[in-house]
């Protein structure tokens, strides 16, 4: 428990946190691949023979969090659908449909309404599918793994892993985090879900040259979510959660917007045209009203 008081105490606490973060930072797979096992173990202050202690695990978890992905709380489907109507262009088209009803142009009102419903429904379906794709990605992470802690090999939740943990895996397991391999026996891993390579990757423990540093060429790294299809191995965790290579893909998919369909693009163009024509008509009416008021006076 820290009992620093005053501004200087806060600065000292921040300095300690920054120092811990620098000492226990995660390592990118490309960087770990060109490093020796000893360099990686030293940098992460790992202990492949006994594993981390429970106290050390809690300290590292405070820095890096759990080995999981943050997914926004799911809204009810009806609310997601109604949120599609908040688009300014959709609101403008609704206003146009309402005006058409007032002027008894029912054919125009019906056409605009049908177009709005189609565009909103398509956008809703795209957003829904995108969210389901993100949820499907999380299913690639195994719920449990075999980890060495306090000198004992034990089965535990994969979300509890931290950088520096020593993990064992064998045929039929999914890799629970990004791992720098330190022992392999006829180890082959199916990385098709991550790299797209259909042929299993033969793994080893030797450092690689920087010339062979693409994701699909890293033979001494086991990536989160990949599948062990032959042999067995052991390694040190170098990246967890969103700090893993898999996590980078996950964050990219979260931030990427769904591409617009041709119908949505057409509706967007129509909305802009209606906005332009509406402004022209309003300007014309204001000018005409001003002219009439001036001539009548």
**Beta-strand (E) ranges in 17-170?**
144-149, 152-157, 166-170
**Model confidence pLDDT, tens digit, residues 250-269:** 777 666 555 565 655 665 66
What average pLDDT does this structure show over 19-36? 74
**Mean pLDDT over the full length of the chain:** 80
- 103 vs 279, which has greater pLDDT? 103
- Measured CA to CA, the distance from residue 173 to residue 147 in angstroms comes to 13
Does 86 or 182 have the greater pLDDT score? 182
pLDDT, one tens digit per residue, over 126-173 is 777 777 766 666 677 788 999 999 999 999 999 999 999 999 999 999
**Tokens 């089965």 map to which residue?**
155
Residue 147 contacts residue 156 (beta carbons within 8 Å) = yes
**pLDDT score of 18 more than 50:** no
pTM value?
0.65
**Predicted confidence band of residue 123 (pLDDT cuts 50, 70, 90):** confident
CA-based nearest residue to 153, from 163, 165, 142: 165
Work out the number of other CB atoms within 10 angstroms of the CB of residue 133.
10
Nearest to 32 by CA among 127, 163, 169: 163
């Amino acid at each position: 428990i820290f009992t620093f008081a005053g501004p200087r105490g806060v600065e000292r606490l921040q300095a300690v946190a920054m120092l811990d973060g620098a000492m226990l930072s995660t390592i990118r797979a490309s960087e770990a691949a060109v490093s020796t096992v000893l360099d990686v173990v030293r940098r992460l202050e790992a202990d492949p023979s006994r594993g981390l202690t429970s106290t050390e695990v809690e300290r590292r978890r405070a820095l890096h969090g759990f080995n999981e992905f943050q997914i926004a709380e799911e809204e009810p489907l009806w609310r997601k659908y109604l949120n599609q109507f908040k688009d300014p262009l959709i609101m403008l088209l609704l206003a146009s449909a309402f005006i058409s009803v007032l002027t008894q142009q029912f054919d125009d009102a019906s056409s605009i309404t049908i177009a709005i419903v189609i565009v909103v429904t398509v956008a809703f379906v795209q957003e829904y599918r995108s969210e389901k794709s993100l949820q499907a990605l999380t299913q690639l992470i195994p719920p449990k793994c075999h980890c060495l802690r306090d000198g004992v090999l034990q089965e535990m939740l994969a979300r509890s892993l931290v950088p520096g943990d020593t993990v064992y895996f064998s045929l039929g397991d999914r890799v629970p985090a990004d791992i720098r391999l330190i022992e392999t026996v006829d180890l082959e891993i199916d990385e098709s879900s991550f790299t797209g390579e259909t042929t299993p990757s033969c793994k080893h423990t030797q450092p690689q040259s920087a010339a062979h540093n693409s994701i699909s060429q890293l033979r001494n790294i086991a990536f989160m979510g990949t599948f062990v299809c032959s042999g067995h191995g052991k390694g040190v965790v170098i990246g967890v959660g969103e700090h893993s290579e898999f996590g980078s893909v996950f964050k990219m998919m979260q931030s990427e917007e769904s591409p617009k369909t041709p119908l949505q693009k057409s509706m967007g163009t129509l909305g802009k045209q209606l906005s332009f024509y509406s402004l022209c008509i309003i300007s014309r009416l204001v000018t005409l009203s001003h002219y009439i008021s001036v001539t009548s006076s």
